[in-house]
A and B are shown apart, each in its own frame.
Chain A
Amino acid sequence: MRLITALLATMAMQLALAGDAPADLPRDAAISGLAFLTEETKALQHDDFANPGLLWVDRGRALFNQKAGKASCRSCHADELAGVFVRYPAVEASSGQLITVNDRINRCRSRQQGLPPLAPAADELLALSMFVAAQSRGEPYAVSIDGNARLHFERGRAYFFTRRGQLNLACHQCHDQNWGKKLRGDTISQGQPTAFPGYRMEWQSAGSLHRRIQDCDAGVRAQPLQQGADEYKALELYLAWRAGSLPVESPGVRR
């Protein structure tokens, strides 16, 4: 009897341990959210004129070329920052902080232009980030998760695997374990970040990846964090790594 109890306890412990260390989605099995869209929506994303995200890219380009404060973005970055987006989020050497493209833009504003930083959800910041992201369209993410970035990466991964909200669901449960199945009228995607910053029809507007994550948090009835929150930056790093060799689609178009 005692033996059976001990055996059961061991089994329960093993089950609990297995539950504590769930596996990442294999990076070579990454599928873009594009695969779950209708043909019409795919066509809209691929239309170099009608993609509504391009309205923000246009505005971003104008802001990039315009002198603001002491200089324009272009006066330093004549190359328009091609291929830069895929390296973010990254750890800033001087401060050890994890910074996103948006943070990088705000650092340029304060250091080079002498201007106050833009709010995380500001439309100008969104436009600039979409212009920068569009210069990396078609390239795979190339974030570093080693060295100083490791801690942030693990923090982002922990966010992904943590149950939250009244529905008590983790990102992992929908986007790793149940992608491809139906959730109300939609097919659950893998939660890949490739479209963002991009256009979302539900918003009737463009938005950042953090705004998209806020919607998932609200969907499980958790209190969403602020755009630009440290946890979201860490999660952005984890998602960029998890995307494997998927190319950046920004400005993507999603439901």
Chain B
Amino acid sequence: MNGIRLSVPASATRDEVIQVKAMIQHDMESGYRRDQVGQRIPRNILKHFECFYGDQRVFHAELNPGVAANPFFSFFTRATDSAELLFRWTDQHGQTWTASRFLEVTDG
């Protein structure tokens, strides 16, 4: 259901700084809105976004109710070794969504 879009270069030279982008489809319902009959719409948000490069967590963001729907993150990391980049989103109930891409690092 939750679509995920990732942008990670397939390969990079060692020590190159690469840009990584990730977007997930999520309502990020703030919990402050009311529906047409005045009932409060329950909060339903992602709380964490993390990126692991091999064994190392290279990026972490804590999300709050003010974040818009379909959160999009873009960040930079240094290519060190060939390894998997694992992206993980965790919602307020602890449910997680993951996606990954393999980064090939060459000694160019």
A residues bordering B, Cβ < 8 Å? 49-50, 52, 54-56, 58-59, 201, 204-205
Contacts and interface: CB of A to CB of B under 8 A. Distances in A.
B44 interface: no
**Residue from the set A54, A56, A204, A205 with the largest chain B CB neighbour count within 10 Å:** A204
B25 A55 contact: yes
Nearest to A205: B69
Given A55-B70, A204-B70, A49 B5 contact: yes
Contact of B7 (A49, A59, A204): A49
B2 to A, nearest CB: 9
Contacts of B74: 50
B17 interface: no
A204 B25 CA distance: 10
B27 interface: yes
Contacts of A59: 3, 25
A52 B26 CA distance: 11
Interface residues of B, number: 13
10 contacts: A50-B21, A52-B69, A52-B72, A54-B5, A55-B3, A201-B68, A204-B28, A204-B68, A204-B69, A205-B27
B10 to A, nearest CB: 15
Nearest to B21: A49
A154 to B, nearest CB: 34
Contacts of A54: 5
B7 A52 contact: no
Contacts of B69: 52, 204-205
Contacts of B28: 204
B58 interface: no
A52 B70 CA distance: 7
A201 B72 CA distance: 14
Interface string B50-73: 000000000000000000111010
A50 B6 CA distance: 10
Contact of A55 (B7, B21, B23, B68): B23
Contacts of A56: 3
